[in-house]
């Protein structure tokens, strides 16, 4: 049986005929003015070669402009699907050649190239406007896992291909991927495999770390291996989000688009990996030497005040903090965890820090009942030699403690420690003496660092909120992870400066000074009680010396009292009861009255002595009736309020803040004097 060639009409032997697409035959017919072509016919080998030898420029030009259906001797919708997929379309878009030896990003020859995935090519097209076809390759250093690095930018000036010829099937696939990408972006899930879409602030809010810090942390973890279901970056990110935000695992699963059991597995693996690879290098007595603490983490204030630069003793601060937990159905455990001080269940870790806020170690999580106060916890730590504590500390090391450790002071002194702690008020005493107040101020000048460390730990909301019972067995590991992160990535809470030694030396010298203003007020009755000897400062022409910020800080030896001054002034100026008076006999004495911020029934009288003849150091002394008002090493916040307001606030643009809180809350004690209309009850 023989067939006829649909082009030349010659007979073709059975098995030698060839099928050619209708579109190619139509190009040949238009070019040679041939008769109508049978689309289902066959062609001989000679005609098939003639069709393929047609100038490809004619084919490209013809594919750019769709051929009308009427020009073909075929019925509409009679085209073969396979023919449509093979069509070529030219679009005016930059593209890169599919060379296996030239990188599509840097356009440099390289033997070690890898094929670019579909998601990478799509991101290049969306962000840079360059279309990369399937099979293009690039250098390994341009990729971060399966994502393109942000600095991987194609130099468009070097691209020669200004138009791209692409098959219709690939074009349809490209549009489909763009549609999927647009739909996913409207409901984006968290993912830490690519940090390019996050700013430092975004990542800091989610994890407590900036981008470069997160990358450093991931590189430190070696025991967490990558798998198809989990990447180390994802697991660490999930754990940090839990610690930073305090959200439940179900909520975190919604953010990451994962199931709750997957989130639990990520948290467990990341927790164990961080505790084995990261925490031992940044927390515990074993991770740092005594000399490092003395040379790098001891402030000039501490060395000048307590050791005078003559001792190689370590100066450390200890304090217990609170982590609140849920009530337990284990009633024996619940009784031991209930704190009579806070009236709620909690556990107490013991924090040991250096004087600049560097966390040396966090020991245990202890019960908060009466048998587990700070003193008994410290005794337990020493006697049980927690973390080889006795091998790390030496004799004559200085421990700065608070009043809660008072029952352990004698024990610590007997074994060779030197302890520093605030003074105690005796029975029926209402105020510290000048000496006790001064010594207490030296302690608080150093001890505030551990309080700030506790506040820094609580910025990870998991430790600030109520911890679930299921997390209590792992709570110590979570605390250690957060503390190690603070040591590794946070700046010291206090840095030493050149003038710190002079300030500390001045503080030590003032501890020996008696409060002369207190003695004058108590010896001269008219200065204290007789209102007739005083006149309002607003009723006379009185000039208070103008004081700068540096001078005010030199009076208070810090910024805490000055930070409280505007708030005290706001309270009194808004009520119009800021009572400041000048002595009638001598204008060198000023008396003020300040309402306590803690108790409504307490108001403190204070006295300030001024030397008008000395413009550089006009404040001679002060005295206040509050607990710490007799000290000469700095002044209390009440005295600082009067000095700041008269010497600085009145001369600046200071205005009392508008109270927006009080009007929003009702006071049921202020019952209106209105008769009740009984008819309203009928």
Whether residues 22 and 104 fall in one domain? no
Is residue 418 within a helix (H) or strand (E), and if so which, with residue range? strand 418-420
From 158, 185, 212, the end of a domain falls on: 185
* Alpha helix positions (H), 67-196: 81-85, 118-128, 168-185
Whether residues 322 and 461 fall in one domain? yes
Instruction: Flag the least confident range among 108-112, 376-380, 484-488.
Output: 108-112
Rounded-to-5 percentages of helix, strand, coil across the chain:
45, 15, 40
**Assigned domain for 648 exists:** yes
The residues, any chain, with a CB within 8 Å of residue 106's CB and separated by 6 or more, are 138, 139, 142
From 469, 500, 531, the end of a domain falls on: 500
**Assigned domain for 548 exists:** yes
Whether residues 521 and 650 fall in one domain? yes
From 500, 531, 560, the end of a domain falls on: 500
Whether residues 253 and 313 fall in one domain? no
pLDDT at 28 over 90: no
Whether residues 171 and 32 fall in one domain? no
Which domain CATH number covers 326?
3.30.420.10
pLDDT band at 83 (very low <50, low <70, confident <90, very high): very low
Whether residues 256 and 301 fall in one domain? no
Name the residue range of residue 625's domain. 516-663
Instruction: Flag the least confident range among 8-17, 451-460, 461-470, 554-563.
Output: 8-17
The three-class DSSP label of residue 326 is: coil
The three-class DSSP label of residue 364 is: strand
Q: What are the tens digits of pLDDT across the range 40-69?
A: 677 787 777 776 665 444 544 544 444 443
The three-class DSSP label of residue 109 is: strand
Query: What's the rounded mean pLDDT across residues 269-296?
Result: 96
CB 181 within 8 A of CB 112: no
What total number of domains does the chain contain? 5
Q: How many residues does the chain have?
A: 682
Whether residues 527 and 469 fall in one domain? no
Distance CA 375, CA 428 (A): 25
Residue 117: phi and psi, rounded to 5, are -75, 170
Q: Which residues of 515-534 are buried (b: 16+ CB within 10 A; e: fewer)?
A: bebbebbeeeeebbeeeebb
In this predicted structure, what is the pLDDT of residue 529? 67
pLDDT at 182 over 90: no
Residue 219: phi and psi, rounded to 5, are -65, -25
CB 237 within 8 A of CB 255: no
In this predicted structure, what is the pLDDT of residue 464? 95
CB 349 within 8 A of CB 483: no
Query: What's the rounded mean pLDDT across residues 403-432?
Result: 93
**Assigned domain for 194 exists:** no
Query: What's the rounded mean pLDDT across residues 530-555?
Result: 87
**Assigned domain for 676 exists:** no
Query: What's the rounded mean pLDDT across residues 658-667?
Result: 81
pLDDT band at 85 (very low <50, low <70, confident <90, very high): very low
Whether residues 534 and 576 fall in one domain? yes
392: region left, alpha or beta (phi > 0 left; psi from -120 to 50 alpha):
alpha
Whether residues 467 and 350 fall in one domain? yes
pLDDT at 495 over 50: yes
pLDDT at 77 over 50: no
Strands 315-320 and 344-354, by their bridges, are antiparallel
Query: What's the rounded mean pLDDT across residues 238-265?
Result: 94
- Which DSSP state fits 490? S
CB 446 within 8 A of CB 355: yes
**How many CA atoms does the CB half-sphere of 129 hold within 13 Å?**
9
Whether residues 534 and 628 fall in one domain? yes
The residues, any chain, with a CB within 8 Å of residue 217's CB and separated by 6 or more, are 209, 236, 278, 485, 488, 489
pLDDT band at 15 (very low <50, low <70, confident <90, very high): low
**Assigned domain for 14 exists:** yes
**Assigned domain for 191 exists:** no
**Assigned domain for 366 exists:** yes
- Which DSSP state fits 316? E
- Indicate the average pLDDT of the chain: 85
**Assigned domain for 167 exists:** yes
CB 578 within 8 A of CB 595: no
C-alpha Rg value of the chain to the nearest Å: 40
In this predicted structure, what is the pLDDT of residue 27? 61
Whether residues 459 and 330 fall in one domain? yes
Distance CA 588, CA 617 (A): 14
Whether residues 271 and 376 fall in one domain? no
């Amino acid at each position: 049986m023989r067939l006829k060639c649909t082009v030349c009409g010659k007979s073709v032997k059975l098995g030698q005929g060839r099928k050619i697409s209708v579109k190619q035959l139509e190009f040949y017919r238009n070019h040679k003015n041939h008769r109508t072509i049978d689309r289902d016919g066959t062609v001989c080998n000679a005609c098939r070669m003639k069709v393929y030898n047609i100038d490809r420029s004619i084919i490209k030009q013809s594919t750019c402009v769709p051929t009308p259906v009427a020009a073909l001797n075929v019925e509409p919708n009679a085209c073969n699907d396979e023919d449509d997929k093979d069509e070529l379309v030219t679009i005016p878009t930059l593209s890169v050649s599919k060379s296996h030896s030239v990188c599509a990003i840097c356009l440099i020859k390289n033997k070690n190239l890898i094929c670019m995935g579909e998601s990478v090519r799509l991101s290049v097209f969306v962000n840079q406007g360059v279309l990369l076809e399937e099979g293009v390759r690039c250098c390994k250093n341009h990729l971060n896992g399966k994502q393109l690095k942000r600095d991987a930018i194609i130099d468009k000036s070097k691209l020669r291909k200004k138009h791209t010829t692409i098959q219709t099937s690939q074009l349809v696939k490209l549009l489909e991927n763009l549609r999927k990408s647009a739909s996913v972006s409207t409901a984006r899930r968290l993912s830490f495999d690519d940090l390019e879409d996050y700013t430092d602030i975004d990542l800091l809010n989610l994890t407590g770390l900036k981008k470069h810090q997160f990358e450093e942390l991931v590189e430190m973890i070696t025991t967490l291996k990558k798998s198809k279901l989990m990447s180390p970056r994802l697991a660490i990110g999930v754990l940090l989000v839990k610690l930073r935000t305090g959200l439940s695992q179900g909520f975190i699963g919604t953010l990451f688009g994962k199931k709750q059991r997957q989130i639990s597995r990520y948290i467990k693996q990341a927790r164990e990996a961080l505790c084995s690879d990261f925490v031992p290098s940044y927390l515990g007595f074993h991770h740092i030497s005594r000399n490092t603490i003395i040379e790098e983490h001891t402030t000039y204030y501490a060395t000048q005040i307590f050791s005078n630069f003559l001792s190689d003793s370590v100066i450390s601060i200890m304090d217990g903090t609170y982590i609140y937990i849920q009530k337990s159905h284990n009633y024996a455990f619940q009784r031991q965890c209930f704190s009579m001080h806070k009236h709620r269940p909690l556990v107490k870790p013991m924090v040991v820090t250096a004087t600049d806020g560097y966390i040396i170690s966090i020991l245990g999580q202890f019960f908060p009942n009466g048998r587990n106060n700070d003193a008994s916890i410290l005794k337990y730590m020493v006697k049980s030699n927690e973390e080889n504590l006795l091998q790390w500390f030496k004799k004559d090391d200085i421990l700065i403690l608070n009043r809660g450790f008072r029952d352990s002071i004698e024990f610590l002194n007997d074994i060779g420690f030197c302890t520093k702690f605030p003074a105690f008020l005796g029975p029926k005493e209402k105020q510290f003496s000048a000496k006790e107040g001064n010594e207490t101020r030296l302690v608080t000048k150093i001890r505030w660092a551990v309080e700030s460390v506790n506040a820094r730990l609580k910025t990870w909301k998991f430790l600030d909120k109520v911890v679930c019972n299921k997390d209590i067995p792992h709570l110590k590991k979570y605390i250690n992870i957060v503390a190690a992160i603070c040591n590794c990535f946070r700046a010291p809470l206090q840095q030493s400066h050149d003038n710190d030694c002079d300030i500390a030396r001045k503080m030590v010298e003032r501890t020996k000074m008696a409060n002369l203003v207190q003695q004058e007020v108590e010896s001269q009755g008219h200065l204290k009680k007789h209102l007739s000897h005083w006149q309002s400062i607003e009723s006379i022409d009185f000039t208070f010396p103008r004081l700068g910020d540096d001078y005010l800080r030199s009076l208070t030896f810090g910024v805490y009292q000055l930070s409280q001054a505007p708030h005290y002034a706001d309270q009194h100026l808004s009520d119009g009861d800021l009572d400041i008076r000048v002595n009638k006999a001598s204008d060198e004495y000023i008396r003020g009255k300040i309402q306590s911020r803690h108790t409504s029934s307490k108001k403190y009288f204070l006295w300030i002595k001024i030397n008008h003849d000395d413009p550089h150091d006009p404040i001679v002394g002060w005295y206040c009736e509050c607990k710490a008002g007799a000290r000469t090493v700095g002044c209390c916040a009440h005295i600082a309020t009067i000095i700041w307001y008269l010497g600085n606030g009145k001369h600046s643009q200071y205005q009392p803040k508008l109270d927006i809180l009080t009007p929003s809350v009702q006071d049921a004690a202020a019952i209106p004097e209105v008769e009740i209309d009984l008819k309203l009850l009928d």
